[in-house]
Amino acid sequence: MLNSQKVLSVSQLTEYLKNMLETDIRLSNLWLRGEISNLTVSNSGHMYLTLKDHDSIIKSVMFRSNYSLIPFKINKGMEVIARGRVSLYAPGGTYQFYIQELLPQGIGAFELAFQQLKDALAAEGLFRKEHKKPIPQFPQSIGVITSPKGAVIRDFVKVVRRRFPQVNIFLVPTAVQGTEAPAQICNSINLFNNKFPVDVIVLMRGGGSLEELWTFNTEVVARAIHNSHIPIISAVGHETDVTISDMVADLRASTPSVAGEIVVPSIEELKDVIKKLEKQMYYQGQSLIKFNSSKLENIKKDLLSAINSVFERKERNLAILADKLHDLSPLQILKRGYCLCMDEKNNTIINVNQVKIGSRVKVILKKGILNCRVENKGEDLNGQKF
């Protein structure tokens, strides 16, 4: 095609070069190591970048179909390994590296993506304590998001039924692995939030590799959990697997069975609590009655002693009065040699005018009575007329 005599068009040369590049078997599929610089993503979703090392650069492109599969975020300066082919872009007059697969260097793609999303959401504050909604102590209904197949849901149901049989469990069968899974999980979370309210949601999946658990490390799932008005318990994988879902959720259970333990109280424990309260109440009630009856007893005693003391006081007063009366008794006066004079009608005579001469009077002495006749009357004890 190419000969020195012939004048070629630019396109002809370009076509020739492109053909040369594309037919070289070594250039059609190779791994390339380099640092990313000049990174842009077009509106149509293709990524244009430059890979470089110390001395050289190569323009590169990754089309949307491949780029959209990368779980982690690509940044300038990142060291990567890329698989692709070399070809020529005629309108730009440049040879390019067409990337099909891109891996971070030194760390797995999923580990990197996990770290990146974790950092981004942490910076946004999604894992903060103040976002954690309290898990109800006694839920009446539990919404479960997981696959209806397999042992996970059955283990969970078994544990919940054993602890607290009366709770209602509503399962939305949801894919927990694969490309459909993130969107399905978001839908299920929204279903409970908007159309079928439950007291608490449990998001579950059994153990698996990081790739298999990937759904629970996606941003959409993290945000759906964060935006849920209903508290969510995340129980993904085994004890050692911690996913972004676990971190955003209001509570993490290390496994689905543990979620069953956490989400409902044990009926036996509750019965014990009630029994204890009952005992305490009866004990307190009884002691209240005892306290009050002893109070009554005391009041009775007080009342009796009060009455007694009133009696005693009155008695004492009476004795004093009796003494006084005794002192004032005429008999006491008679004792001292005075005597009492009365007429026949027993009127006490204190004035000579009360008697006439010749009338009879009684003179009462301390001992005995004198019956006398008045023979004479005088005026005054001190006067001369007596």
Partner 1 sequence: MGKSFEENLQRLENIVDCFSNDQLSLQEGLSLMEEGIRLIKECNLFLDKGKGKLKMLLEGENGIAVWDAKELEGEIDEI
Q: What does residue 44 show for φ and ψ, rounded to 5 degrees? A: -80, -5
Rounded to 5 degrees, what are φ and ψ at 109?
Answer: -60, -40
Q: At 189, which amino acid appears? A: I
- In three-state secondary structure terms, 185 is helix
For residue 317, the number of C-alpha atoms closer than 13 Å in the C-beta half-sphere is 6
| 199 or 246: CB nearest partner 1 | 199
In whole angstroms, what is the distance from residue 188 CA to residue 144 CA?
Answer: 9
- From residue 166, how far is each of 162, 171, 172, 272 by CA, in Å? 10, 16, 19, 17
Nearer to partner 1 among residue 132 and residue 162 (C-beta): 162
CB of 300 to partner 1, least distance (A): 16
DSSP 229: S
Cβ proximity to partner 1: between 148 and 178 the closer is: 148
- Between CA 363 and CA 373 the distance in angstroms is 10
Where are the extended beta strands (E) located within 237-368?
251-252, 340-342, 360-364
Residues that bind partner 1 (CB under 8 A): 136-138, 140-141, 148, 150-151, 153-154, 157-158, 161, 165-173, 187, 191, 195-196, 267, 270-271, 273-274, 277-278, 280-282, 284-285, 288-289, 292
| Smallest distance, partner 1 to C-beta of residue 218, A | 21
Residue 27: other Cβ atoms inside 10 A: 16
Give the H/E segment covering residue 312: helix 267-328
Shortest reach from residue 88's CB to partner 1, in Å: 51
What's the CA gap between 11 and 262, in Å, rounded? Answer: 70
Q: How far is the CB of 290 from partner 1 (least distance, A)?
A: 11
Per-residue tokens: 41: 């993503």
- Tell me the closest approach of the beta carbon of residue 188 to partner 1, in angstroms: 9
CB of 155 to partner 1, least distance (A): 9
User: Smallest distance, Å, CB 223 to partner 1?
Assistant: 20
Q: Which lies closer to partner 1 via its Cβ, residue 15 or residue 155?
A: 155
- Work out how close the CB of 278 gets to partner 1 at its nearest, in angstroms, rounded to a whole number: 5
Closest separation in Å from C-beta 196 to partner 1: 6
Smallest gap from Cβ 142 to partner 1, in A, equals 9
Cα separations in angstroms, 258 against 156, 227, 239, 263, 335? 8, 24, 10, 9, 111
Q: Which is nearer to partner 1, 86 or 167 (CB)?
A: 167
Distance set, CA 304 to CA 298, 300, 310, 320 (Å): 10, 6, 10, 24
Q: Considering beta carbons, is residue 60 or 228 the nearer one to partner 1?
A: 228
Q: DSSP secondary structure string, 85-121? A: EEEEETTTTEEEEEEEEEEESSS-HHHHHHHHHHHHH
Nearer to partner 1, 9 or 194 (CB): 194
Around Cβ 346, how many Cβ atoms within 10 Å?
7
